[in-house]
Structure 1
Amino acid sequence: MKVTVVGAGNVGATCADVLATREIANEVVLVDIKE
């Protein structure tokens, strides 16, 4: 399963880390705006 997390701030990064650590998703994609 591929999961996209929109927003790579504190919450988004934590969600992506949990998804990867617990092996909930095979692929995790972080999407954030350019500043």
Structure 2
Amino acid sequence: METNDLGFVASLLFVLVPAVFLIVLYIQTNSRQG
């Protein structure tokens, strides 16, 4: 099976971008409460 680099990068970004956004949001709410 031939791997598509563009598809791999796209799926990686598709997973990483919301994850980073949620982590930043989580840290901000924690620093506000703490």
Greater helix share, structure number:
2
Greater strand share, structure number:
1
Q: Tell me which of the two structures has the higher relative contact order, counting C-alpha pairs closer than 8 angstroms and 6 or more residues apart.
A: 1
- TM-score of the alignment, normalized to the shorter chain, above 0.5: no
TM-score bracket relative to the smaller structure:
0.3 to 0.5
Q: TM-score, normalised by structure 2?
A: 0.42
The structure whose Rg is larger is 2
Q: TM-score, normalised by structure 1?
A: 0.41
